[in-house]
Structure 1
């Protein structure tokens, strides 16, 4: 019995000595891993819409890939959803309160609705910890992402939405001047049409294009920004007012003059951009996002013959003609449910995708940014350089779907498709008015 007890004591001493020796080999990599020296894994989900073959989408995917390689402790679950279906998918999971951890979102209405639904948490803590990064943004950059002094995202770009792109070679061939007034635009359309040239490429399959890129600026030319903001708030103006109906009539006039190709509601904006790049149309009304796609897919010779300007002025318009509708670009939102180590990982991802280096790379991918970065023209297309200069010479006006409620914006999107197919402007104005008034309960 004594021998058995002695044997047990000897074994216990041996084990304790072995454990002590093992402990002396510890590398000091933390205690949460149980002394294995391996960093604790953190699972993090990311949703984005950088699925295309344009330079900006490629660049953002490269940044995400590098982040994954540099952070082996973060298990990044990525959902890459094509742009046309992205908002609908995000709103679906938002309605079920099943948001991804980090996700691409828009300033303005989307930010307000998600914050109002208690789905977001602010990133003030991250921004304040990186003051040099925060101070690098241009004035007003955070406005669309800010509610009650809480900032919910950092913009990853700058999006003028209504640029009139034109093919100078086609204009020269038919001895046309770039239109500065609405009458000049209609005359150019008629001249090009008579020569069997598509005047303006349009891809409105997803319904948002005519709203964001055409009516947001055309409407402002007619009504002025103050009227639109009042109508959006249903405070002293309505979408059935004569000035807004006139804006709808002008857009319909453009269609009736033969400005757009047949089947414009059956192709998307990427197909529209390729149509313009291939010289199949003399003009295109599109946002700054087109630059990264055009720069990736058009030759230098084709890009050199392209120009860009703002939408023409309209007779009797109340708005400033030296403007374009636009917003700061998308940013990364952070789910309200993210906390602890996962929140630290999410902050690192947000910084990687919208920090100073990412802003510089985004600019060089022919995408405008709302950040202080000096442009090296040797790294961008000639068309991008032209638009960059243009944007520094004009003011920005509201984009409809950044201000209207989701229901109001949907009514505009669907209404413009109907308008361009021959619908009555007054009837469409009434549908927009009803949707906006109902959604804000006025």
Structure 2
């Protein structure tokens, strides 16, 4: 019996010691069997070409660097955003993580969670100097650069099925009146005018409203409202923008139950030929190319939201951001930082940018597209973006609380909510965020 107790005590003590030695923040940091261990969280979880290309870079990096153990974890975009903010509150960030420019970057810098990458950029001037103009602005805080964009993310395009338009004699809309006429004609013929899946409530805000509102208010007004300096979200032009969106819903632009299906189901309605149009970001193109039936894909073309008469915004613009980047944990140093930055460069450096462009994904980097190898629909998007300018998407500039307010507010608005109520709630949230 004494011998059994002695063995049990020894086992318990050994377990405690091992647990203490292996302790950490759960992100895979540290070392293992002489290897340098680093962790990375990303949203490259799908089967689209972009996600596949990024995962392949990580696998190649592991094979080429046997002395570095990479613990990578993929999460869907919405889950990644939520989890990052959760671990940020506990100061337990992974070593590298996909993050968004502007609002999220500023929040993480203000929380002392990131370290700048100016040293790495200075050591690779041919990399730093090859980004498109202003590409680093969304990752620059107080003169320090905290990441680089790994893609270009325009968030609002109309993907339309030309065969359905031709079948019912509908003109591809270049004015708001023509869009309203198209919606009426498709409804009269039991065709969904615009497929919408707003269960994850960011979809309407990001893919439709950010551009629609800019058409009416202009970009300068929005930036002033964000800073709460010379403009408020209760101003008449913003109320008008909300009411224009509401009028689309009332006109039957979207199918019933749009707030209860997700983006994937939304795209399926378009793939099945049930919808004449779908409004989505540039990221949807890879999904189309890989998953749409040939009879839909071959008839799909791309345009932007029409201008709105009397609006203060430019007509040839669409909402978006320069693209996601990689955040570098403030806690990284020494050999682990060196290993992490090596992986950073593999994913976001010239080779990573080329792999992204080759995956039918736009980049914020100066690379010429090989049109002979690219899908014709991606060539169409690429050429469209040579003339179209990017204006801010709302959730890139608003604080996290205000973003949640506008996302929920737009859901309510399309379910017969009042524009004035949405505007007041957003104004209150942004005023609080701006300390005014």
Q: Which residue, out of 306, 312, 316, partners 1:312?
A: 306
State the Cα RMSD in Å.
Answer: 1.3
1:220 equivalent in structure 2: 214
1:173 aligns with 2:201: no
Deviations 1:404-434 (A, max 9, x none): 1111111110100111111011111111111
Residue 333 of structure 1 aligns to a residue whose secondary structure is strand
1:432 equivalent in structure 2: 426
2:246 equivalent in structure 1: 252
Matches within 5 A, 1:144-155: 144-155=138-149
Distance 1:47 1:361 in 2: 19
Distance 1:278 1:393 in 2: 31
CA apart distance, 1:379 = 2.5
Distance 1:135 1:278 in 2: 44
Matches within 5 A, 1:180-195: 180-195=174-189
Q: Could you list the runs of 5+ residues in structure 2 that have no partner in the other structure?
A: 1-31
2:263 equivalent in structure 1: 269
CA apart distance, 1:215 = 1.0
1:60 equivalent in structure 2: 54
CA apart distance, 1:191 = 0.5
1:297 equivalent in structure 2: 291
Residue 259 of structure 2 aligns to a residue whose secondary structure is coil
Distance 2:374 2:270 in 1: 19
1:134 aligns with 2:133: no
- Matched residues, number: 405
Is this contact kept in 2: 1:224–1:319, CA < 8 A? yes
Larger radius of gyration: 1
Deviations 1:255-304 (A, max 9, x none): 11111111111222222223223322111111111111111112455323
Matches within 5 A, 1:393-412: 393-412=387-406
Is this contact kept in 2: 1:303–1:382, CA < 8 A? no
Matches within 5 A, 1:314-353: 314-353=308-347
Is this contact kept in 2: 1:200–1:260, CA < 8 A? yes
1:98 aligns with 2:92: yes
CA apart distance, 1:40 = 4.0
1:370 aligns with 2:364: yes
Is this contact kept in 2: 1:166–1:306, CA < 8 A? yes
CA apart distance, 1:39 = 9.6
Q: TM-score under structure 2 normalisation?
A: 0.91
CA apart distance, 1:193 = 0.5
1:384 aligns with 2:370: no
Is this contact kept in 2: 1:103–1:332, CA < 8 A? yes
Residue 54 of structure 2 aligns to a residue whose secondary structure is helix
Distance 1:356 1:300, change over 3 A: farther
Distance 1:167 1:200, change over 3 A: same
Deviations 1:349-403 (A, max 9, x none): 1001111111111111110001111111233222111111111111111111111
Q: TM-score under structure 1 normalisation?
A: 0.90
Distance 2:268 2:120 in 1: 40
Distance 1:93 1:146 in 2: 22
Distance 1:137 1:39, change over 3 A: farther
1:229 aligns with 2:214: no
Distance 2:269 2:363 in 1: 26
Deviations 1:60-118 (A, max 9, x none): 11111111111111111111111121101110000110000000000000000000100
1:118 aligns with 2:112: yes
CA apart distance, 1:126 = 1.1
Residue 86 of structure 1 aligns to a residue whose secondary structure is helix
Distance 2:372 2:126 in 1: 27
Distance 1:401 1:349 in 2: 28
Residue 227 of structure 1 aligns to a residue whose secondary structure is helix
